[in-house]
């Protein structure tokens, strides 16, 4: 039986607890989150040699000052690169899973990729013996559908934003009722400004909804039922 965590009023650390000295999606950011017993959101993608690593951007430039694409590199090449001006490296998912070990809820975003099957299979393999305290989600409906078809007992979510591309047709299709029905997500994750739209308020009555990305305490309202929050933590750092 599928175990869907209670997401109402949950506050999830977006890419771990990070600031100017602690890089996002780093082992240090996740250790800091664990000290607060804070649920963690992170991003995964596959290296050229099929190692799942935890990193948000497709290009390394913003976080490493190296103008390289992650999915074009092997893991051995990635290991030589530091995150920002720290000694932190881009961690493997295996390292992160070993660190967290089910202690807090893990919200795993699967980055878009041309290697959907390889990425999803490798993630499923990594999660095989992991404690049952995690979610998977993606902006790509085909990735969410893959989990519906191949791992239906894993809680899955569909990420939705206002505009994916400049192509109006793609934007309509991705956010359509038909696409949502096809994926049959257990929850939705939408940008905070979309919550004001009636369409998504109606979904709130049917499914748990995670709101991203919250940057201050003032943006959180506990009046909304069935809603959790993906937040930049600590607020004190991100607010300034």
Choosing from 31, 48, 56, 103, the catalytic residue is 56
The answer to whether residue 56 is catalytic is yes
Answer whether the bond into residue 4 is a cis peptide, omega within 30°: no
- The secondary element (H helix, E strand) that includes residue 8 is none
Q: Using CA atoms, how far apart are residues 136 and 148, in angstroms rounded to an integer?
A: 11
18 in active site: no
Torsion angles phi and psi, residue 122, rounded to 5: -65, -40
Catalytic one among 5, 10, 13, 14? 14
Cα–Cα distance measured from residue 118 to residue 130, given in angstroms and rounded to the nearest whole number? 19
What are the phi and psi torsion angles at 110 (to 5°)? Answer: -95, 115
User: Angle CA(30)–CA(31)–CA(37) in degrees, nearest 5?
Assistant: 85
- Cite the active site residues: 14, 56
């Amino acid at each position: 039986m599928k175990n869907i965590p209670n997401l109402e009023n949950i506050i999830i650390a977006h890419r771990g607890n990070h600031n100017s000295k602690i890089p996002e999606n780093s082992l240090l950011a996740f250790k800091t989150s664990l000290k607060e017993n804070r649920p963690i959101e992170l991003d995964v993608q596959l290296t050229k040699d099929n190692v799942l690593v935890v990193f948000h951007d497709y290009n390394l430039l913003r976080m490493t000052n190296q103008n390289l694409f992650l999915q074009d590199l092997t893991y051995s090449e990635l290991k030589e690169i530091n995150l920002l001006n720290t000694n932190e490296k881009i961690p493997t998912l295996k390292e992160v899973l070993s660190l967290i070990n089910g202690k807090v809820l893990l919200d795993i975003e699967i980055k878009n990729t041309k290697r959907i099957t390889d990425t999803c299979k490798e993630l499923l393999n990594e999660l095989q013996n992991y404690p049952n305290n995690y979610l998977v989600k993606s902006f790509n409906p085909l990735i969410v559908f893959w989990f519906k078809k191949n791992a239906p007992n894993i809680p899955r979510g569909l990420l939705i934003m206002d505009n994916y591309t400049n192509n109006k047709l793609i934007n309509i299709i991705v956010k359509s009722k038909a696409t949502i029905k096809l994926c049959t997500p257990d929850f939705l994750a939408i940008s905070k400004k979309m919550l004001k739209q009636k369409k998504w308020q109606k979904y709130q009555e049917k499914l748990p909804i995670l709101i991203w990305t919250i940057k201050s305490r003032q943006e959180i309202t506990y009046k909304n039922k069935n809603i959790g929050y993906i937040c930049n933590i600590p607020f004190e750092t991100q607010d300034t």
